[in-house]
Amino acid sequence: MKNTIYILVLTFMVSCGDSDRPAKPDNLIPQETMSNIIYDVFLLNAAKGINKQVLEKNNVLPQDYVYKKYSIDSLQFALSNEYYSYDTKTYETIMDRVKSRLEFEKKKNDSIGEIERKTKDSLDRIKRLIPKPDSLPLEKPKLKPKVFGQGD
């Protein structure tokens, strides 16, 4: 996965040079797909940084996962990334999509977390209102049997 990030950075740096635009690859990855790939790479890198053991336990190799998911290989990705990064406006558009999606997902997850917290707080308040079994009286109150026909 580090290789992918290095390729991204290196390609971006190379694209800033005075060289001619790279030739359009025959198997150029569409811009929308490219932004999805970069999004997945960012997520997997974040997941790897947070809890690498979960990925290892589930036999997820981030690079292989992305390549398999999008039916691409490292060369196709590198050439497409180089082609797009040459034109900074195009690359910025791709990265803006990634950024917008990351921000949207963060807001969504934050909202879900807030709802879960409020739900838990509400359940805790309800639990405090319900008497615990050991705080209830042990004996049932004795009821006076009512005899029908007497004094009705």
Better-predicted residue by pLDDT, 104 or 147: 104
Distance CA 25, CA 72 (A): 13
What pLDDT does 113 receive?
79
Distance CA 86, CA 17 (A): 9
**Residues 12 and 85: beta-carbon distance below 8 Å:** yes
Indicate the pLDDT class of residue 120, thresholds 50, 70 and 90: confident
Tell the residue number behind the tokens 């969504």, with chain if given.
108
- Tokens standing for 92? 């910025």
- Tokens standing for 28? 């150029």
Distance CA 32, CA 77 (A): 13
DSSP 4-53: HHHHHHHHHHHHTSSSPPPPPPTTPPPHHHHHHHHHHHHHHHHHHHH-HH
Model confidence pLDDT, tens digit, residues 59-82: 878 888 899 999 999 999 999 999
Model confidence pLDDT, tens digit, residues 1-60: 556 665 666 666 655 554 678 889 999 999 999 999 999 998 888 877 777 788 788 887
What pLDDT does 7 receive?
66
* Domain residue limits, the chain: 2-97
pTM to 2 decimal places: 0.61
